[in-house]
Amino acid sequence: MDRKLCKNVGNKKIAGVCSGMAEYFAIDVTIMRILWVIFALCSGVGIIAYIIAAIIMPES
């Protein structure tokens, strides 16, 4: 099975990063979004990581 990490443009709220990562790791998109918010609030790096991921990840 060859999986690719890419943004999911069909189920996106902002850029589709969380939905693409949730699809890649086979978890619910709500859980992935909650993890991103926790990561952003705890370390502050989550916002920068999300922006970088939105720029780097290709669209599906």
Question: What are the average pLDDT values for consecutive 10-residue runs of the chain, which has 60 residues?
Answer: 80 85 91 91 87 89
Burial of 21 (0-12, 13-18, 19+ CB in 10 A): buried
Domain count, the chain: 1
**Structure confidence at residue 16 (pLDDT):** 87
CA dihedral (51, 49, 56, 58) positive or negative = negative
pTM over 0.85: no
Domain with 19, as residue range(s), is 1-60
* pLDDT (0 to 100) of residue 12: 74
Identify the burial level of 14 via C-beta atoms within 10 angstroms of its C-beta, where 0-12 means exposed, 13-18 middle and 19 or more buried.
Answer: exposed
